[in-house]
Amino acid sequence: VEREVNVKDLLSMTSGLVYGGDDKAGRETEALFEEIDSRLLGDNPVNTYEAMNRLGKCALAFQPGSAWQYGASADVLGAVVEVAGGMRFGEFLEKEIFEPLGMKDTAFWVPDEKRSRLAKTYEYDKNGELIPYQGNHLGIISGMDRVPAFESGGAGLASTIDDYARFAGMLMNDGSLDGVRILKPKTVEYMTSCTLNPEHQKYIWPALGGYSYGNLMRVMADCSKAGILASPGEYGWDGWLGAYFCNCPREKLTFLFMMQKTDSGTTALTRKLRNIILGA
């Protein structure tokens, strides 16, 4: 590499780290996550620190800071927090965010007394029918039935729409909620701003028309290029199982839509609901 990967690269997904693909970086990263998945339920699971140190030995898809590609950058940030905070990533989140905000149902696992409330996850079979999903993905134990060794910075929290609403409300309120300050207003302003340059922007997915990216979130930069109704400066993200989050500061509107289906992300239904809500 011409220079080391830095924290800004990780926050902007300009690090060269990927989740998979046909190139050397993709193959090596996929092999690592397959090993993490294979050891999830055994006696010697891969922990966050080990997993990300192993990832650091994988090839990069491009020179740090030269392009944009969604990948394992957020997972590395989880390990960075562990080292900087001197505690496990999940413990840090509980101490600094979940407990102060009253997010009582958010963690990397679900204890026995709450397990009956855990929603089932589904996938399509070869005939296009919905069936329960029984696998594990990207180092996440889908059953959520134990404290995991690997606490991912990019995935894996179990939560509720009420807890998520408190987190979203904190961001909407410039970093505080119910008298509890989590972040300074300037930090929230930076977190919810675009950080990509014009060269990076060339690599943004076509489906994200009008959006830029920064600090692990899409940020609306040009509503005229969006394929849906949009709000200037709106920000958020979606998950592999269809958990969709969007804050629209101009309208003081939070949009949360939760699904439990693999390979979902932002669905056609999500886009329709957005259009109805923002067009009302």
All structural domains of the chain: 7-85 (no CATH), 161-279 (3.40.710.10)
Give the pLDDT mean for 251-279: 95
Task: Please choose, from the candidates 275, 237, 278, the residue with its C-alpha nearest in 3D space to the C-alpha of residue 256.
Answer: 237
pLDDT of res. 93: 98
> Based on C-alpha coordinates, what's the Rg of the chain?
19
For residue 280, pLDDT over 90 is answered with no
For residue 229, pLDDT over 90 is answered with yes
Give the pLDDT mean for 251-276: 95
C-alpha separations of 161 from 135, 256, 259, 262 in Å: 24, 7, 11, 18
> What is this structure's pTM?
0.94
pLDDT of res. 106: 98
Average pLDDT of every residue of the chain: 96
pLDDT of res. 75: 97
Decide if 262 contacts 155 (C-beta within 8 A). Answer: no
For residue 83, pLDDT over 90 is answered with yes
Tell me the sheet residues that pair with 246. 236, 255
Give the pLDDT mean for 155-170: 97
Burial of residue 153 (number of CB atoms within 10 Å: 0-12, 13-18, 19+)? buried
Give the pLDDT mean for 189-208: 96
For residue 181, pLDDT over 90 is answered with yes
Decide if 139 contacts 51 (C-beta within 8 A). Answer: yes
Residue 97 has what DSSP assignment? I
Tell me the sheet residues that pair with 140. 137
pLDDT of res. 171: 98
pLDDT of res. 239: 93
CA–centroid distance for 219 within its chain: 14
